[in-house]
Amino acid sequence: MLVADDDPLVRRTLVAALDAAPGMVVDGVVCDGEAAIAAVLENPPDVVVMDVDMPVVDGITATLRLRQASPSVRVLVIAPSDDVELALLSLRAGASGFLAKDVASAGLARAIVGVSRGEAAISRALVLRMFERVRRAPFHGTGMRPVHSDLTGREWHVLDLLCDGAEPDAIAGRLGVSPETVRTHVANVRAKLGADSVEEAVAIGRRQRSGDAGVDAQPPLDELALRRVLNLGLGARP
């Protein structure tokens, strides 16, 4: 098993909890998404416990790249909170599960065992919120994030919040990062989209999400498809 998290305290806590669990062996620890990709390509583990917000390459982008390069490796994404948008992005990227970091050690261990067996790992409370999110999603991909884009998953998340009218400080609070980190993401978004202002970036983002800019949009997940993806009843129950 590989643990990928940029917070030293979280890494130590995760490793200690997993080492104490029967049958758990932590083969490696890395602190960013790029290092996680390199470690998996060199020595593929059964499961990667992937922090969603890391430097160099964020956890969602790293998950997508890992699943493309090594489909047999299963990824469990962990985040500061049960964020529905991040959960959906993680699953679309190929993750087998999504859990908040405050999950109990026993729950995390059960989740990893389930993921290693090909099961899903996600809390039932989050599943219900995801169902509501899916029911409200427009049909035919309208408003969904493009799959093919130069923006990372985290940059799309920041852009989505900007499209909703959120200010950088509010976005920082929502994502659990510093305002400086958000401003860096915004600058990267503007540069990649060729936008001269935040307002122009928002306009371009809305066009791309709706498929009007020639970018493939991710089709929405209906409830039946989501049930298949989550493999309900087989995953962990933290």
* Residue 82, helix vs strand vs coil: coil
Is position 143 within any domain?
no
Confidence at 144, pLDDT banded by 50, 70, 90:
very low
Is position 189 within any domain?
yes
Is position 216 within any domain?
no
Question: What pLDDT sits at residue 237?
Answer: 36
Sign of CA dihedral 96, 123, 18, 117: negative
Q: Once rounded to an integer, what is the mean pLDDT over residues 192-196?
A: 92
* Same-domain status, 11 and 115: yes
* Same-domain status, 103 and 167: no
Question: What pLDDT sits at residue 39?
Answer: 95
**CA–CA distance, 111 with 96 (Å, rounded to integer):** 10
CATH, residue 159: 1.10.10.10
pTM value is 0.61
Is position 160 within any domain?
yes
Q: 60-97 burial by CB neighbour count: b if 16+ within 10 A, else e?
A: bbbbbbbbeeeeebbbbbbbbebbbbbbbbbbbbbbbb
Confidence at 37, pLDDT banded by 50, 70, 90:
very high
Total domain count, the chain: 2
* Residue 97, helix vs strand vs coil: strand
Q: Count CB neighbours of 1 within 10 A.
A: 20
Contact 48/41 with Cβ under 8 angstroms? Answer: no
Q: Is 236 exposed, middle or buried (0-12, 13-18, 19+ CB in 10 A)?
A: buried
* Same-domain status, 85 and 183: no
Is position 215 within any domain?
no
* Same-domain status, 128 and 194: no
* Same-domain status, 193 and 226: no
**CA–CA distance, 222 with 67 (Å, rounded to integer):** 23
Q: From the centroid of its chain, how far is CA 47? A: 15
**CA–CA distance, 148 with 140 (Å, rounded to integer):** 17
Question: What pLDDT sits at residue 215?
Answer: 38
Q: Once rounded to an integer, what is the mean pLDDT over residues 168-182?
A: 86
Look at residue 146 and tell me whether its pLDDT is greater than 70: no
* Same-domain status, 23 and 95: yes
Is position 138 within any domain?
no
Strand positions, DSSP E, the chain: 2-4, 28-30, 47-51, 74-79, 97-100, 121-122
Sign of CA dihedral 105, 109, 110, 111: positive
Is position 68 within any domain?
yes
3-state helix, strand, coil in the chain (%, to 5): 50, 10, 35
* Same-domain status, 158 and 98: no
* Same-domain status, 9 and 119: yes
What is the four-CA torsion angle of 90, 95, 100, 102, rounded to 10 degrees?
Answer: -150
* Same-domain status, 205 and 226: no
* Same-domain status, 92 and 201: no
CATH, residue 10: 3.40.50.2300
* Domain extent at residue 166: 153-209
* Same-domain status, 226 and 201: no
* Same-domain status, 117 and 19: yes
Is position 170 within any domain?
yes
State which amino acid sits at residue 41.
L
